[in-house]
Structures are given as structure tokens and as C-alpha cells.
Amino acid sequence: MPDTRARISWQAGSACAFDGDDPIASSHIAARALLADPLTNKGTAFTQAERDAFGLHGLLPPHVGTLASQIERRMRALDRLPDAFARYAFLRELQDSNEVLFHALVASDLPRFLPLVYTPTVGEGCERFSEIWRKSRGLFLSWPNRDHIDQILADPALDRVKVIVVSDGERILGLGDQGAGGMGIPIGKLALYTACAGIHPAEVLPILLDVGTDNEARRDDPLYVGWRHARVRGADYDDFVEQFVAAVQARWPNVLLQWEDFAGTNAYRLLDRYRDRLLTFNDDIQGTAATAVGTLLSAVRRTGRPLTDQRVVLYGAGAAGCGIAGMLVRLLVADGLTEAEARQRIWAIDRNGLVVRGMADLSDGQAALARDPAELDGWSPPGSISLAETVERVAPGVLIGVSGQPGAFSEAIVRRMAAGTRHPVIFPLSNPTSRSEANPADLLAWTDGHAIVGTGSPYPHLSGTPQALAQVNNVYIFPGVGLGALAAGATRVTETMFMAAARTLGGLAGPGDGLLPPIAALRDVALQVAKAVAEQARADGVAPPAQPGWEDALASAMWTPAYP
């Protein structure tokens, strides 16, 4: 009998090539493969000529559609769904069946789709990831398969990868350990790399390092798709991550590797270990910091008091909080303060209250922010100094929350803050909405509309209000940082590159905007941030000199979803 198995190969967005002993069987195998691959599937938009060439007749309804008509059909379907999670699940399935249509749909109304593709809906998406998992996307590198990482990464379908977002699922937003469900974060982040920075979907790769989970509800769930085991920790964990990084370096020497939602201690350790070894950054530490500081620069201009004169209370001193504090210190030093003077402007509060020298188990980032007990004469004892007491005694002009503690910014605290400054800057940044330190409507009410507010999650019902308001979302920073680093040919991502990104973001809001440009302008924001980051990479000596016309080339290289 002749061998009827077809040998099929294609590149994303290009025609399919195949050969086989039985041309009819080969044709139909190739046709079904073409429809099954989200990078090549066009659905009803395959033309008559393409249907003839690839044997698609009968596999598709006879109507020949357009991308615009397909978007309209999906919009109607979305409008009929009952809630945000149902729409999230619908969009995930669409992405797994037709990448161009998915990204064109998102691009058609970014303000509508950003909260569905990422925060806040992605939080529930991670919690219920196993419930809606249907089709392979990205890579699950699990502890039991640790000796096969090189072979897994060797897949020729991954040859074009330029950007990897990786998580181990331990600290998903403010929701804690979600294990394999944490894959929703890399998938969502990379969708935004495509939407905002124009990175082709064939050039991005989400990865979940599955080292188990300590979330017993996940392990006991019969639908859970991850490795059912307590988390691997210590030297074994470090060795596993090293295996992963070494394999990535060998496979893609110039790839950008972005770390997402690792627990605080691991987040800092891994960033410190690998930041000088490959092109890498941690979005929770550096991206959050640059976004918060960039928005803060925009906010303080509205107060009439420069940042160097502001007192800042930081509620939450984990990876994100310490990252924000570190960038604030560097910015204040660049603006003329000494490092000691800069640190004196920041009061950090963690689970044991105000961070004070001599406390046990302080991280390096916390220790750098710890207050001297001698300056706290008359305060409550260290370990019991609350947010309320700190605000009462410090009278800050800026209050930033990255604690994951819902409602922590109480009416009494906010009113006390407003009594000491006409325009208090208040940023409840914890995600998702259920973990926010305050509702912005309350903050505006408690300050008679004088507060300048930045939130971590979107609050659409407040859009269009005259008050200064912004969603302080990392999407304003990380796509541009990644695009700029890649465009410049950078070998490292430096702190000054993030500083350049923050300063650029802080100056982008127009006269009719809030604190930040509108979500609909995110593609231009990414381009402007990318240019600043690329220039800073060259100034830092981590990228070669610019070629003539590089800015125009960068803009023209950004991918726009369209069928070939």
C-alpha cells in the first residue's frame, strides 16, 4: 500500500507546502492542518483561489468573508455573552483558532478588550484556567520533564521566537499561587505585546514553569491540568530555573525574556542572577515601578509641588513596592537629592507595619527603606506602626498601594491625608479589582473631588470624569521596553532604560487626557517608549550605534493584523 501520510510545512502567514504519495489524501491532510493552525487559518476569509489551491472546498461554508465581516460576527457573539469571564473564555478560544482575527478584534476597540484580555478578567481566567483549557498554547515545562527541556524548545515551529514571557504561577496578581493556571498571565501579556508593540504572534512564546503548587484547592480539583505536587523549592528549584535559562540561551541567544508573577523572594533573586547574563527584566518589579513612577511624574505636576518636595507612603513592600521605591530613589537622586535624602522621602509599610531597622527577615529591598528607630520617638513600637498612624504623623502628599489588601485606604485615612494637602495623590494599584486598596469613586468623594487617582484595574464608569484619573497599567511600559530593547539590538536591559521609559510616559499625556494617554493610544505610547529605551540602551553601551532611519524602520516593522 502506498504511504499516504503527507509531509507538511509552512511558515506563519504563508502558503502551505506539502507532498505525499497520494495527492488526494495529502491535499486533505494539508487543508485540515492549514485550518487547524491559528497562525495560518483564515476561516471564511480564504478566497476562492486559495480554496482551490489548498483543497478547502467542503471544509468551509461557501460564503467568502472579509476580516471586517468576521470581526462583526464575533462582536455580535460577544455582546450576547453574560459576563466578562465568558467573554474572556470566548476570546481565548478565538486566539487558539485564528490569530489574525483575534488580534484584529482586539485592535478594533482596545479600551473594550484590554480588560477582557488582561486585568482584571485574567485573574479569574487564571483561577479557572483548567476549566477552560482546550488547546495547546505556549509551553508547560514541568519538573517531571526537566531533563527534556532542550528537546521541547527545539521544535522548529518556534524558530521565529523573539519574546518569551515566563511565570511559575506562584504569585498571580493578588490571588496567590495558581500553579499551572498562571499560564494565563504569559498568554495575556504576549497578546498585549502584539496589540501594542506590533510583535508578530509567531514571534512570542508563553512559558509556564510547573514546579507544582501549594494551593491545595488546585491540586484537589479533578480538572486541574498541572503537576499535582507541592512546590519544589530550594536548590532543586534553582537548578530547574537554571536548566531553563541555559536552554533558552542556547536556543535563542538574542531573545527577550520577561519574568512574571514570581513570589517576591524568587522574583528578586532571579532578576539579580540573570540580569547581566541575557536580555531580561521582571515586569512586576521594573515594569510596575516605571509605570507607577511615570504616572506619578504626571500627577505631581498637577499638584504644583515637585517630586523632590513630596513625602511618599508606600503600602506594600514586596517585589512591586520595593521596585517602585528603588526607582523613586534613583529618580530623586537624578533630580538633585542625595541617596540618603531620597530614601528619607519614602515610608514603606509591610505586613508588620512601618518597616524599621532591626526587624527580622527584611529583604534587601526592605532593608534599604527601613526607618531609623531613633526618628520614631513617641510612635507605637516597631512591628505595630499602622498605615493610619503613619499617615497621621507623616502627612504624605502621595499614597501608593501594592498590598493586595482590599479596602486598606479607609475613609478616615484618606480624609486625614486630604487635610494636609489640597491635591493628595492616591494610587491603589493592587489587581484585580477585588484586591484594590480603595474604589476611586470613594477617594474622590472623601476628598471633595481633589484627589489625583491612579488605579491598577480599570473603572470604566468613571471614564470621562473631570478629575485627574488613570489606570496605572504596566501595558503603558513593558511593550515599549521590549520593543525598544529588541530594535536597538540591546544585550541587556538596564535600570536607566526603565528610567527613560518612565520619564517618557510621564510626559505623554495631552491637554485633554487624564494622567496618561488614553488606552486607544497604546500603540503610539509603545512606539514613543521604545524610541526612548533604544536611545538609552545605546547611551548605556549595551547596544550598537543607531543606523540612519532607524526610527522610521521601527515604526514600519510593527505588525498590523491582516490576512496575507
Domain spans in the chain, listed from the N-terminal domain onward: 7-65, 82-278, 286-472, 478-557
Q: Give the neighbor-by-neighbor strand order of the sheet with 139-142.
A: 139-142, 204-210, 163-167, 256-259, 280-282
Q: Which of 510, 521, 479 is nearest to 118 (CA)?
A: 479
pLDDT at 461: 62
Q: How many CA atoms lie within 13 A of 1 on its CB side?
A: 3
pLDDT at 12: 39
DSSP 231: P
Residue positions forming the annotated binding site for a divalent metal cation: 260-261, 284
Locate 469 and state its grid cell: 484619573
Element (H, E) at 478: helix 478-488
Q: Strands, DSSP E only, in 435-555?
A: 452-455, 469-471
Q: Which of 427, 549, 543, 545 is nearest to 492 (CA)?
A: 543
Fold that domain 286-472 belongs to in CATH: Rossmann fold (3.40.50)
User: Is residue 533 a contact partner of residue 489, using CB atoms and an 8 Å limit?
Assistant: no
Distance CA 530, CA 477 (A): 9
List Cα–Cα distances, 152 to 63, 111, 250, 283, in angstroms. 39, 36, 13, 25
pLDDT at 5: 32
Distance CA 425, CA 398 (A): 5
pLDDT at 319: 86
User: Is residue 469 a contact partner of residue 453, using CB atoms and an 8 Å limit?
Assistant: yes
pLDDT at 462: 63
Residue positions forming the annotated binding site: 171, 260-261, 284, 431, 473
User: Which residues belong to the active site?
Assistant: 118, 189
Element (H, E) at 539: helix 522-539
pLDDT at 547: 93
Q: What is the DSSP string of 335-377?
A: TT--HHHHHHTEEEEETTEE-BTT-TT--HHHHHHPBPGGGGT
Locate 474 and state its grid cell: 504596566
Please identify, in words, the CATH class of the domain defined by 82-278: alpha beta
- Write the burial class of residue 515 (CB in 10 Å: 0-12 exposed, 13-18 middle, 19+ buried): buried
List Cα–Cα distances, 371 to 333, 368, 403, in angstroms. 19, 9, 19
Distance CA 516, CA 521 (A): 10
Distance CA 308, CA 335 (A): 7
pLDDT tens digits for 23-75? Answer: 444 556 689 999 999 999 999 999 999 999 999 999 999 999 999 999 999 99
Distance CA 99, CA 542 (A): 34
Question: Pairing between strand 7-9 and 17-19?
Answer: antiparallel
Question: Pairing between strand 204-210 and 139-142?
Answer: parallel
What stretches in the chain show pLDDT beneath 70? Answer: 1-29, 460-468
pLDDT at 470: 87
